[in-house]
Every structure is written in C-alpha cells, then in structure tokens.
Structure 1
Amino acid sequence: MKSTNVVWHDSKVAKAERQKLKDHKSPVLWFTGLSGSGKSTLSVEVEKALYELGIHTYRLDGDNVRHGLNKNLGFSPEDRTENIRRIGEVGKLMNDAGLVTLTAFISPYREDRDQARKLFEDGDFIEVYTKCSLDEAENRDPKGLYKKARAGEIKGFTGIDAPYEEPKDAEITVETDKLSLEDSVREVIDYLKFNQYI
C-alpha cells in the first residue's frame, strides 16, 4: 500500500549549511561493476583515505545493506531495481546530511543507475566504474560465487546468465584489473580534489 496524505516538512538547516560546517561537498560516489571487480575493496580504501583527510563519510555496501534495509529482496531484475531505488534514496538523504557517501553495488542495469542519478542535483552523483574483465573477476572470485554460478547453483548471476550494462559516461573509470589498489584510490581522490569536492 502506497503512502497517501504525506507532505514534505522542511528543515531550518539546508544542505549548503551542513556542507559549510563540514568544509566539503557531499557527493555520492556510486561504485558499479561486476562481482569481483573491486567495488567494495576500493570503496573501503577510498573511505579510509577520505577519513584521513578529515572528510565525513559513510559507506553503503551491497551485501551489508542486504542484511538489514534490503533483506527482503532477492536478485530478480525487479528486486535488483528496488534494491537500487532504495539505495538511491538513502544516498540522497546522506547527500542532504552533508556526508560523502560511497555505495558499492553491482547495479547491473544502466536504467536503474540513471534513475538513481536523477535523484541528485548536477554534480552530486559520481559514477565510479570499476572496470574489470570477466575473466579476471572470475579468476578472483573472492566469495566463490562465479564457481557456484558456473555449476548452476546460482541463477541470474551477473556476467554469467544475467547482463551487466557498462556505464556509457561514468565520471570515473578505474581499471581495477590493470591498476594497483593504491593507484586506484589515487584516481578517485584526485578526481574529488581536482573538481573541488574536497
């Protein structure tokens, strides 16, 4: 049942004031890529680097969020869309709160990522494509999921029997199968500094 008779209640503190208090902007860094491409690993290290620079952050990881907020969702295309919709809305709240938010989700469908982007003002949504070949992601297989998918134990697995639609115009593309983790972190931090987010 959808909510009815709801009215937005404005705050007396605006996003710009929260950003001024924290002395940095509050973009959402949307890490997307295949399972095993390094989204979570990179987002963890970028968050640590930002923390060391005095930047207020919060990280939303795909598996972590499915332990709570999205624990009622599976991996059907419809559930994946709802998963991303909810994360987009949470990211928008954190953006308004003045935090740099890092999200690490496969988010395989371009349309879902575009819908998330539409929630934000220009410049507040930064798509970070952790570009990695399927061969390398499958070789890494940190959770053993590719092996299970190849054995038919997991259906609808992205890259095997479900699609991954690469970003067309990601703000940042990090080739995680070619760069070291340190260099990958530097690419993201340099982008944020050059574009005066931090």
Structure 2
Amino acid sequence: MTVHPFIEAEKRAGHNVKRACELLKVSRTAFYARRTGTPGPRAVRDAELAAQITDVHTRSRGTYGAPRVHAVLKRAGAGCGRRRVARLMRAAGLQGRHRRRRHLTTVPDPRAALRPDLIVRDFQPDPNGLNTRWCGDITYIATDEGWLYLATVIDIASRRVVGWATADHLRTDLVADALTAACRQRRPIDPVIFHSDRGCQYTSQQLASLAG
C-alpha cells in the first residue's frame, strides 16, 4: 500500500510534508517526483540499468540469467545488486537459458546374452572396407516440445552416416528404423558387422531378428 496519498492529505491539511515523510520513512524527493509525474533518481537509475541489462542479455544471445548478467555489470563497474538485476530482468521479461540435465539413453538389459566384439575396438577408417563394419548409437536433442531421440548408423570405413531415424521415444523401433534405412541406402551384398553399445535397444530380440 502506498503512503503517498496520506502525505498528500496531510499537505492539503497544512501539515509539514517533511515531518510526515520522516515518520512514514518515505523519500521526500520520491513523493514530489510522484506528485509532479517526474521520475525520481531511483527510477532514472533503474531505466539506465534496464538498458544495460538488455544489452548484456542480447550480446549473450539470450543465454545469461541474472547471476551472469550481474557479474558482467559488476566487472564493468555498474553499482547494482544481484536482486535488483533480477527484478529488472523480470520486469523486462528477460530470462536465461538453463542447461538441461543429461539424459540417459544407454540402459543395459541384464538378461541379454553377451556377444563378442567382432571389430575388436578397431574404428579406423578403411576406404576398401565399405559396407563391412557399421556402428550404431543414440543421441538426444532438446526441443520446445520435449526430447527428440536420434538413432544413427555409421559406416566405420568412411565414417559417414548411412542410416538414421528420429522418434519421441527410446524403444527398439527407433534403432530398428535406423538400421533398416541403412540397409535400404547401401544395399550390402555381403554380411555386415554391426557394432553398438549394450543398451537394451541393441541387445533386444527384435533387433537380433532384424539383423539376423
């Protein structure tokens, strides 16, 4: 609740404005600034800081939140507190981007059968070995609608992506679609060694039947 109307009433009644401001712990400058419509020193400083904050936030490509914006302003010699920066950023509708938590994509199936490493950890490219060794993996991409999962199949000989698929889930269908796309793209004649981690999607019976 503002006390300015009360002070205004006291003034109209002929009472001392200075004394009323002291009793109510209100800046007399702020009272007269509000009364005349002229912005006070704090409002002027807030406007200056808001412009600096917007500039720092823009130069960070919208990634900086209040702590980092405050750190930049502090290094530049701007005398302002972190809470003030946070308040002005909220008023301006500015916020930083939060780093998303790492998402787990490899969940081993303890019941899956062990399979030998047929490529013996040899991931060196070989121009003469196309369509003999492929490897698969899953990664994830943060979007405005949630996580998007990307499964890829890479030909180790050329290190080129030969098949891929995306989905909003981590079921075996995702890696199966990527492997199917690779087979359609390359159409290998001879058997191909397919290497992957021990995630449950790659050790599933569904994928074993497909690669069979």
Which category of TM-score, normalised to the shorter sequence, fits these structures? under 0.3
Q: Which has the higher contact order (CA 8 A, sep 6+)?
A: 1
Q: Which has the larger radius of gyration?
A: 2
Instruction: Output the TM-score relative to the length of structure 2.
Output: 0.23
Instruction: Output the TM-score relative to the length of structure 1.
Output: 0.24
